[in-house]
Amino acid sequence: MDAILTTHIAAVAFWFGLVGAEFVIERSRTESQSHGFAVTKNHYYIDLFFEMPTFIIVLVTGTILLVETTLTNLLMVKVGAGLIAVISNFICLYPVIKRKLAADKEDLKAVKAYSRQIDRISVFALPAGFLALIIGVII
């Protein structure tokens, strides 16, 4: 159980670092068109090679930990918030991939539209992830 918990905590910490890095690079996407296209591609590769595997690890280790523990009301809130964060990140893969394909074609209008979708999804994912993290620290 200790190895699973340690893996879960390390994956959550790594995931938050990735999300923080993405947030920073996303805020710079309007500096220029070429920079915006570069941000789009960087976010795509971060999601594909780092974030997606990490949130899968968080989901799997969290499930293992959940099966072996007693559910409390606070833990159910943490699990719900964590699931919202994971599902939101999974859903966000679609506009991230579509935006990268649009950037490859230099379709600025589509890149902006998919960027807005990513921003809207983040409105749910970030607070849910922070709530799960805070509750995890408390319990």
Q: Which domain holds residue 15?
A: 2-138
Q: What is the mean pLDDT of the chain?
A: 94
pLDDT score of 1: 61
Number of separate domains in the chain:
1
What is the average per-residue pLDDT within 116-128? Answer: 94
Query: Rounded distance, CA 114 to CA 123, Å?
Result: 15
**What pLDDT digit, counting tens, does each position of 8-62 carry?**
999 999 999 999 999 999 998 988 888 889 999 999 999 999 999 999 999 999 9
Q: Please determine, for residue 96, whether its predicted confidence score (pLDDT) is greater than 80.
A: yes
| Nearest of 124, 130, 138, 134 to residue 84 by alpha carbon | 124
CB neighbourhood size of 77 (10 A): 13
Question: What's the pLDDT at 139?
Answer: 87
State the greatest distance between any 2 C-alpha atoms of the chain, in Å, as a whole number: 52
